[in-house]
Amino acid sequence: MLNQKNFKFILASASPRRKELIGHLHIPFSILTADINEESSHTDPHHYALDIATQKGEAIIANLKEKGDSFIVSADTVVSLAGKIFGKPKDEKEALAFLSELSGKEHSVFTAVSMFLRLEDNVFQQGFVEETKVTFNNISDELMERYLATRDSLDKAGAYGIQGPSLTFISRVEGDYANVVGFPLSRFVNEAQIFFEAHLKKKDMWLNYF
């Protein structure tokens, strides 16, 4: 029988924003990252994000040398407008192009979370995707220039981070704010509870296993 507080929690992400959000759970966790191409054959943003998130977690599982039961969590965030997927811009020019397309429009932010439980020689996986709607005001040339100068756009899906200077042109958020930051923490807490109950056959709060 499994004892409580015997899992190692691994966050498969180098994102400081995801690290901060997971930190609100006040449980110990470590960070491991996988070097993958982040490419998917899926064109639908929901399945695209989930595929990339799952690939990240699978890469960690494949290279995990430590023994013992583990809970590995990976995630991926994409921005989508009319079915088009906006990932991280490769440079400021592409960031300008992304933001110009999103200017004055409502778009969707999808964050996929993939969870893995490694129990002895068995690995169980489950994932989910959260969607939040975000609306931009029309971004003037001057405001665009000022925002791009902050370089806040260069490491974020859709070329913006909601918790930063992009708030100067975001007019509406419909749904989970944390999801736009990069990790839907509230839903994750509930989904992880269901996941642990399904595979441990216990009703104990999953946070108590760390």
Catalytic residue numbers? 76
User: What are the C-alpha distances in Å from 175 to residues 96, 124, 131, 180?
Assistant: 26, 29, 7, 9
CB 14 within 8 A of CB 31: yes
Task: Give yes or no for a contact between 80 and 86, defined as CB atoms under 8 angstroms apart.
Answer: yes
> How far is 21 from 29, CA to CA, in rounded Å?
12
Q: How many whole angstroms separate alpha carbon 169 and alpha carbon 60?
A: 37
**In the numeric block, which tokens belong to residue 49?**
């994000």
Going from the C-alpha of 186 to that of each of 9, 97, 134, 175, 176, the distances in angstroms are 17, 32, 18, 12, 8
Which residues partner with 123 through β-bridges?
A: 118
30-31 and 84-86 strand pairing: unpaired
Q: How many CB atoms lie within 10 A of CB 63?
A: 10
